[in-house]
Chains A and B, each alone.
Chain A
Amino acid sequence: MRPPVRAPAPRPARTAKQLRESVAASRPRSRLDSDANPLRKGLRLEQVPDPCAFVLFGATGDLAHRKVVPALYHLWRTNLLPAEFSLVAVARRPYAEADFVAELRASLEKYSRSQPIDEAAWAELSRRITYHRLDFDDDSGFDGLGQRLDELDAERGTAGNRLFYLATQPSQVTEIVRQLGRVGLDHEMRGAGWRRLVVEKPFGRDYDSARALNHEVAKVFRESQVYRIDHYLGKETVRNLMVFRFGNGIFEPVWNRSYVDHVQITVAESIGVEARGAFYEETGASRDILQNHLLQLMTLVAMEPPSSFKADALRDQKLQVLQAIAPPDANGVRNHIVRGQYGPGWVGGESVRGYRQEPEVDPASETETFVAGRFQIDDWRWSGVPFYLRAGKRLPKRASEISIQFRDVPLRLFRDAAGDLAPNVLAMRIQPDEGIMLRFAAKVPGLGLDVRTVHMDFAYDTSFAVDSPDAYETLILDALLGDASLFTRADEVEAAWSIVTPIINAWAEMAPPRFPDYAGGTWGPEAADTLLEREGRRWRRI
């Protein structure tokens, strides 16, 4: 495997394909068109998706049943999908259409966030579902799919607009994309409908495979047609992080190396690998969380203000952050990255088994279920400010949080009045109780001068009456509207892998780890604490 390299800088368009892409990118998107519906102005949604066919590959799979179809159902019942909508379910298993629809209905009972199911809404949506069986390597199946979509354009008015959603195994992505290209389902022609491709993570399993995957996708689809889903970016608090940073004037002036001591980002899960042992054996915490969720959160915290909230303006800034992180060498991995694996323990008062005792897991597995690291962004804003990232399974609680720890006051005037006055912290809780907390010092009322650290909490669910949509609803709606700002671009994916791949490679060269090294229900291995303690810091209590 060749060492990861930086994603190349954008070059002037040269090939015909690049030229076409460049022209398309400069064209105003449909949501900005002057022929927008004037009656939508001031309504809940100022634009609704165009008529379209939603082609769901892997429609019989877990992701489709748990997330994608419930999200579509919610969008439908809240009138956010057009009447001229068709869900084309594609999978390999033979199914009678009615049986398949009945199975989706049963899944909604289990996974829909609102119960009971709205029968009238479901009846309307289910009339728009059609099942198409095909093997992903079968040319005739894809030929048939193309014909079926043409028929739906005529029957249901889907107007040639097609969104291909790949809720399949990662290994099937390349073949499906190739087939879509072979039958011309990627072609966009002016006035004849748009074509979009939604791909689920993981986007590769290291730098080389990610590049190869992007290369294969780019042979067929232009980058502006590709929507890579990291569902974390669809969460309300993550989106609100941008509003918090760039919608408030008071934080940006202190959001830099002059005022910030360090940043901590935690994505903690209390659950184990559940029924996904085989999957997790192949991924581990680094691939599952660090490469995407953690680094994406880091980019949102650290990026420069974009010139607009358009997709590429935002993603350019995120990319710059990733490109400013030096990939660790073997020594850096040894000193600044910690991996761990949970053993048996107790979580929430219940006894839990160790990772190696989980189903489908090798009893001598070396897969990490915990990863923590110290990262450095080498730019003017953040130079010298460490970013500590950690993620793990079977930690004491489910909690995701970003905390900005500010520098201590230059002179401790109240040294005698407070035992150990903690520096200011601004913490943004992503889950479970989404909110923002500010820690500061205050005088205890009374005649003396007693100073204490206090927390000022803001909780979203006590301030906004609106139910937050599921991340999949947000992201699917954005893809249907052609808004790619919450999706990951190819160069971002590669830049993230260029940071994580050296870590994985270095571990492969090292002596086998002594796993398990933390008990279920604790905050990871001791080495994770040491990582901060040797710099005079510690992980925030969450």
Chain B
Amino acid sequence: MAEDLTEGLGEPLAAPGPSRANRPDAGGRGISSPAARSVGEIEAQLGYLWAEDAAGRARVAQLQADLARARAQAATRAAAIAAAEPAASDERHVAARSSVLNLIVVAGRPETAERCAAVIAATAGHQPSRSLILSAEDPDGPAGLEARVHARFQPAPSGPAQTVAETVRILARGETGRHLASIIVPLLVHDLRVALWWPDDPQLTSHRAERLLPLADQLIVDGMSWSGDGLGRLLALAQVAAPGRLLVTDFALLRQARWREALASVYDLPDLRPHLRGVRSITIEFAAGASEPVSSTNLVRPVYHVAWLASRLGMSVVSPLGRARAGTRTATLRQRDHAVKVELRPVDSGLGPGSTVRIQVASSRRGSELEGIVSAGDDTVEVEVLEMGRQRIRRVFPAPRLNEVDLLERAIEDGPSDLLAAGTLAMAARIIGPELPAA
């Protein structure tokens, strides 16, 4: 039925790369509007799309009624009456807005806008949002904007329900590009949460951030994509986070969920749990870049691992992260009455620069030495536990890497209730130390 309705209505955006298996996103239909050149025109087109949605539902309902009637003719008279009854109904389905949030994307470059639009399209069935994808060009040219509205209608796998996700691609030129907030505010759906997705290198201390961040309830970034070692920007991220006002979600931290689950599993055993009170060292091995100096390798992920452990285990920072030999960074933490040695160590690896290769947590408790070691591949995470140097546990967890579509969905779903991010981010800032200039 969906195919019949898509005739002449334009092509939906293509999703980037592989996404989660069994995702019921295939199908659905999209409508694209002609270019709009003002906020008023964009609003008018959004209104038109909802009217089109209601008409589409009516068509779906009619098709279903026809189908039910046709099926009923083949059955007994009694079955025919029962099956055809819905067709005789005078009731209507309203186009219930099922949006879950306003999503603003600050896409610096057109190719970033393109990529984000494709990611959003892939999440449309599950996270129907009004998405405003902003990009700016030619800052010294004449002021103006160009926008295109696209709606994606996603039928439920069964039943007549469908969701509608609207995407507005806005390209601002000249002076207009410096006033993006003035474009955004009239286009937000009332009373819906606002998430600001700032991919690539967000300028968190810029004039633009000053205007945009107050509009948002949630800031979504990807620390893995930041240039340089990323630590200055991580510090800035910790500074803009305001629990209760602005939640921060970092894809880099979400990606590490499989590492956290694996490491936590070591201490699920009641007899090993006391070792969490006796951690002596945390060593993170990360992939050094083959073609770049180690000093400019992105360290956000290794720092997050340490920050998470430190925040969960009640540690404090004695001496923040400093440089040691061969690109290694070290820090000293304190847990209760003992020191915890932290080492971020670059190693040769086929993985991308800054990727975690191995985590090792060493602890001692009443004469017993324990090492929890976690390493990961593309689809699995391996846990090994050594007790007094002898292997006690070895387990391989199936845990595939998440792609950007998965990450955005998790950010939307879990962001508001993410208990872990705020504590980890605050601890990361303490571990990095105060001397770095915020990005």
Q: Which residues of B contact A139 (CB under 8 A)?
A: none
Which of B75, B76, B98, B419 makes the CB contact (< 8 A) with A462? Answer: B98
**Alpha-carbon distance between A39 and B93 when the two chains are bound, in angstroms:** 47
- Complex-state Cα separation, A349 to B154, whole angstroms: 28
**Which of A37, A345, A453, A521 is packed against the most chain B CB atoms within 10 Å?**
A37
Please, how many angstroms separate the alpha-carbon atoms of A457 and B22 in the complex?
24
Q: Name the segment of B78-86, B244-252, B322-330 touching the other chain.
A: B78-86
Given contacts A37-B276, A51-B269, contact A465 B93 (CB under 8 A): no
Question: What is the CA–CA distance of A346 and B313 in the complex, to the nearest angstrom?
Answer: 64
Bound-state Cα–Cα, A331 to B123, Å: 57
| Residues from chain B with Cβ under 8 Å of A453 in the complex | 90-92
Chain A residues with CB below 8 A from B94, complex form: 442, 454-456
Residues from chain B with a CB closer than 8 A to the CB of A35 are: 270, 273
> Within A63-110, which residues are at the interface with B (CB < 8 Å)?
77-79, 82-84
Contact with A along B91-111 (1 / 0, CB 8 A): 111101010100000000000
Report whether A433 and B156 are in contact in the complex, using a CB–CB cutoff of 8 Å. Answer: yes
Report if A38-B276 is in contact (Cβ < 8 Å); known contacts: A43-B264, A396-B82.
yes
The answer to whether A120 touches B398 (Cβ under 8 A) is yes
Known contacts A37-B268, A43-B260, A457-B160: A464-B78 contact under CB 8 Å: no
Contact (A463, B157) CB under 8 Å given A346-B75, A349-B74, A396-B79:
no
Whether the pair B270, A50 counts as a contact (CB closer than 8 A) is yes
**Out of A40, A43, A433, which one reaches B158, CB within 8 Å?**
A433
The one of A43, A50, A78, A348 in contact with B257, judged by C-beta atoms closer than 8 angstroms, is A43
Which B residues touch A78, using CB under 8 A? Answer: 398
Distance between Cα atoms of A454 and B269 in the complex (Å): 55
Whether B91 pairs with A439 at a CB distance below 8 angstroms is yes
B233 to chain A, nearest CB (A): 23
Residue B264 contacts which of A40, A51, A157, A519 (CB distance < 8 angstroms)? A40
Q: Does any Cβ of A come within 8 Å of B5's Cβ? A: no
Contact A462 B156 (CB under 8 A): yes
Query: Which chain A positions have C-beta within 8 A of B71?
Result: 348-349
Q: Which residues of A sit under 8 angstroms from B260, Cβ to Cβ? A: 39, 43
Cα A35 to Cα B162 with chains together (Å): 46
**What per-residue 1/0 map shows which CB atoms of A9-50 lie under 8 Å from chain B?**
000000000000000000000000001011111111000101
Given contacts A452-B91, A452-B92, A454-B93, contact A345 B79 (CB under 8 A): yes
Compute how far the CA of A433 lies from the CA of B264 in the bound complex, rounded to whole angstroms: 36
What are the residues of chain B within 8 A of A419 when measuring CB–CB? 90
Q: Of all chain B residues, which has the CB nearest A119?
A: B398
Chain B: minimal CB distance from A55 (Å) = 21
Q: Does B395 contact A (CB under 8 A)?
A: yes
Question: Given A43-B260, A519-B79, does the pair A346, B74 have CB atoms closer than 8 Å?
Answer: yes
Contacts of A124 in B (CB 8 A): 395-396
User: Once the chains bind, are A457 and B161 in contact (CB under 8 Å)?
Assistant: yes
Residues of A within 8 A of B86 (CB): 541
CB-contact partner of B312 in A38, A84, A461, A523, under 8 A: A38
CB neighbours of A458 from chain B (8 A): 96, 98, 161
With most chain B CB atoms within 10 A of its CB, the pick from A42, A51, A345, A439 is A42
Please indicate the chain B residues that have their CB under 8 angstroms from the CB of A121 in the complex: 398
Q: When the two chains form their complex, are residues A462 and B79 in contact, meaning their CB atoms are under 8 A apart?
A: no
CB-CB under 8 A for A83 and B393, given A38-B276, A465-B126 = yes
Q: Provide the bound-state CA to CA distance between A463 and B71, in Å.
A: 31
A435: Cβ under 8 A from any B Cβ: yes
Docked complex Cα distance between A464 and B92 (Å): 25
A459 near B420 with CB under 8 A, answer no
A27 → chain B, closest Cβ, in Å? 17
Asked if B419 contacts A37 (CB within 8 A), the reply is no
CB distance A463 to B126 under 8 Å?
A: yes
Identify A346's interface contact among B76, B264, B265, B419, CB under 8 A. B76
* Partner among A77, A83, A456 whose Cβ is within 8 Å of the Cβ of B395: A83
With a cutoff of 8 Å between Cβ atoms, the chain A residues found around residue B269 in the complex are: 51, 82, 84, 157
Out of B96, B257, B397, name the residue touching A457 (CB < 8 Å): B96
Q: For the complex, give the distance between the alpha carbons of A521 and B85 in Å.
A: 14
Q: Which residues of A contact B90 (CB under 8 A)?
A: 419, 452-453
Q: Categorize the interface residue count of chain A.
A: 35 or more
**B399 CB–A CB distance under 8 Å:** yes
Q: Which residue of B lies closest to A39 (CB)?
A: B264
Question: Taking the complex as formed, is A522 at the interface, i.e. its CB lies under 8 A from any CB of chain B?
Answer: yes
Bound-state Cα–Cα, A467 to B22, Å: 9
User: Is B89 interfacial (CB 8 A cutoff)?
Assistant: yes
Q: For window 159-211 of chain A, which residues contact chain B by CB distance below 8 Å?
A: 159
A379 within 8 Å of B (CB atoms)? no
* A241 in contact (CB, < 8 A): no
With A48-B268, A521-B78 already in contact, the answer to whether A461 and B157 are too (CB < 8 A) is yes
Partner among B158, B163, B265, B314 whose Cβ is within 8 Å of the Cβ of A463: B163
Q: How far apart are A155's CB and chain B's nearest CB, in angstroms?
A: 14
Nearest Cβ in chain A — how far from B142, in angstroms?
41
**Which one, A43, A461, A465, contacts B409 given CB within 8 A?**
A465
Give a binary string over B301-338; 1 marks a CB under 8 Å from any A CB, 0 the rest: 00000000100111000000000000000000000000
**How far, in angstroms, from A467 to B263 measured CA to CA in the complex?**
25
- Give the Cβ gap from A73 to chain B, nearest Cβ, in Å: 11
Flag if A79 contacts B399 (CB, 8 Å).
yes
A118 contacts chain B at the CB level, 8 A cutoff = yes
**Chain B's nearest CB lies how many Å from the CB of A418?**
9
Distance, CA A454 to CA B57, complexed state (A) = 12
B348 contacts chain A at the CB level, 8 A cutoff: no
Binary CB contact string for chain A from 245 to 280 against chain B (1 if under 8 A, 0 otherwise): 000000000000000000000000000000000000
Answer yes or no: B127 CB below 8 A from chain A CBs. yes
> Contacts A442-B94, A455-B94, A461-B157 known; A522 to B79 CB distance under 8 Å?
yes
Query: Do A455 and B268 form a contact, CB below 8 Å, given A120-B380, A121-B398?
Result: no
From B24, B92, B396, B397, A461 is in contact (CB under 8 Å) with B24
Chain A nearest CB from B26 CB (Å) reads 14
A41 in contact with B420 given A82-B268, A348-B71, A519-B79 (CB within 8 Å): yes
Q: Could you tell me the distance between the alpha carbons of A120 and B379 in the complex, rounded to whole angstroms?
A: 11
Complex contact B78–A519 (CB within 8 A): yes
Residue of A38, A51, A84, A347 with most chain B CB atoms under a 10 A cut-off: A38
Select from chain A the residue with minimum beta-carbon distance to B272.
A37
Tell whether, in the assembled complex, residue B83 and residue A396 are in contact, meaning their CB atoms are under 8 Å apart: yes
B66 contacts partner chain A, Cβ-Cβ < 8 Å: no
Query: Which residues does chain B contribute within 8 Å of A463, judged by CB atoms?
Result: 98, 100, 126, 128, 163
Does A410 interact with chain B (Cβ within 8 Å)? no
With both chains docked as a complex, state the minimum distance between the C-beta of B426 and any C-beta of chain A, in angstroms: 14
Q: Does B50 contact A (CB under 8 A)?
A: no
> A541 touching B89 by the CB < 8 A rule?
yes
B353 contacts partner chain A, Cβ-Cβ < 8 Å? no
Known A79-B399, A463-B163: A521·B312 in contact at CB below 8 Å: no
Q: Report the Cα distance A515→B227, complex, angstroms.
A: 77
A8 contacts B by Cβ under 8 Å: no
- A146–chain B nearest beta-carbon distance, Å: 23
Separation in Å of the A113 CB from the closest CB of chain B? Answer: 10
Q: Quick one: given A48-B268, A454-B92, A519-B79, are A39 and B398 in contact (CB under 8 Å)?
A: no
CB-CB nearest 3 A-B residue pairs: A346-B75, A42-B420, A433-B159
23 pairs from A and B in contact (CB 8 Å cutoff):
A37-B276, A39-B309, A39-B313, A48-B268, A79-B265, A83-B265, A345-B76, A345-B79, A346-B74, A396-B82, A419-B90, A433-B157, A439-B91, A453-B92, A454-B92, A455-B92, A457-B159, A458-B98, A459-B156, A459-B159, A462-B98, A467-B22, A522-B78
Q: Supply 19 further A-B pairs (C-beta < 8 A) apart from A40-B268, A43-B264, A463-B126.
A: A42-B418, A77-B398, A79-B261, A83-B395, A120-B398, A124-B395, A349-B74, A422-B91, A433-B156, A453-B91, A453-B92, A456-B93, A458-B96, A459-B156, A461-B156, A465-B126, A467-B22, A519-B76, A521-B76
